[in-house]
Amino acid sequence: MLPLLLLLLPAAHGIAQLKYRPALTTEPLLEGVTTTSTFVVDQPRCIFKDYDNAVIWLVVALDQATSSFNNTARPETSETAFQGFPDPVRAYMTLNATLGSYPCPKPEGDITVLRVGSETSCTHDVTRPTCNGPLPGPGPYRVKFLALEGSVPVAETGWSMPITLIKAKPLSSISTAGSGHSADMIAITTILSILFAILLAGLVAMLFFWGSDSCGSSSTFSKPESVTVRRYNTHHVYDQPAARL
């Protein structure tokens, strides 16, 4: 009977309602604050400082399921398993951390955000019911932080405002009305490329023919043979007596 009374005592006093609402971060992120399957919220720094022994969970729920979420649900059961979200599971628990993970004040250089939906390896792994898997649609979703001591909820934040993810557009819905200028540029570029190719081919042909004419003309000229003029002295002239006088 005593253990049952101990379990009911926190419920009788109620869960501490902390004056904090999770919100999308305002930090500049290369991957974006929201994508088609993830979003990024700020860590709850200095929010649970009075709960040293608690484990702090992030509860992710469909917008319309926040009022029906059961704070006493255990995180590692099928009732809150990510693999059943969003049907039949309407909310799941993930990203559990102790207070030491959220030091206050924030040390210089610490990362102070949580990306919801960033873990892909456990999406279908039923042994990982607290998987931080990709979100299945654009939402909207709401999140809150819940502190548990053992299996007993001791403190919680308020729910965030609705968070809607980026919705991927099908290719058939992408308008081509603004593509006229691009089509004209492509046509002009193609025509110029063809004209340049023709001009280049003509230039190559002219160079080829000029080279052929030069080779043909040089072949008609031949080096003249050298002419040797020989001097002849007729021997019979010197045999005449009158020539010797």
CATH of residue 62's domain is 2.60.40.10
Paired tokens of 100 = 């030491």
- 36 located within any domain: yes
- 79 located within any domain: yes
- 104 located within any domain: yes
Mean pLDDT computed over every residue of the chain: 81
pLDDT at 169 over 80: no
Q: Which percentage of the chain shows pLDDT scores above 90?
A: 53
Please give the residue that has the higher pLDDT: either 47 or 205: 47
**Total of domains in the chain:** 1
Please measure the distance between the N-terminal and C-terminal CA atoms of the chain and give it in whole angstroms.
Answer: 175
Cα separation, 161 vs 214, in Å, equals 86
Cα separation, 174 vs 44, in Å, equals 40
Cα torsion 102, 108, 114, 119 to 10°: value is: -110
Write the pLDDT tens digit of every residue in 189-216. 888 888 888 888 888 878 877 766 655 5
- 202 located within any domain: no
- 30 located within any domain: yes
The whole-number pLDDT of residue 110 equals 82
pLDDT at 228 over 80: no
The whole-number pLDDT of residue 106 equals 85
Mean pLDDT of 99-108: 89
- 187 located within any domain: no
Range of the domain at 29: 7-166
168-197 burial: b if 16+ Cβ within 10 Å, else e: eeeeeeeeeeeeeeeeeeeeeeeeeeeeee
The whole-number pLDDT of residue 31 equals 86
The whole-number pLDDT of residue 166 equals 93
Paired tokens of 36 = 């088609």
Please give the residue that has the higher pLDDT: either 99 or 211: 99
pLDDT at 16 over 50: yes
Model confidence, pTM: 0.65
- Indicate the pLDDT class of residue 9, thresholds 50, 70 and 90: very low
Residue 209: helix, strand or coil by DSSP?
Answer: helix
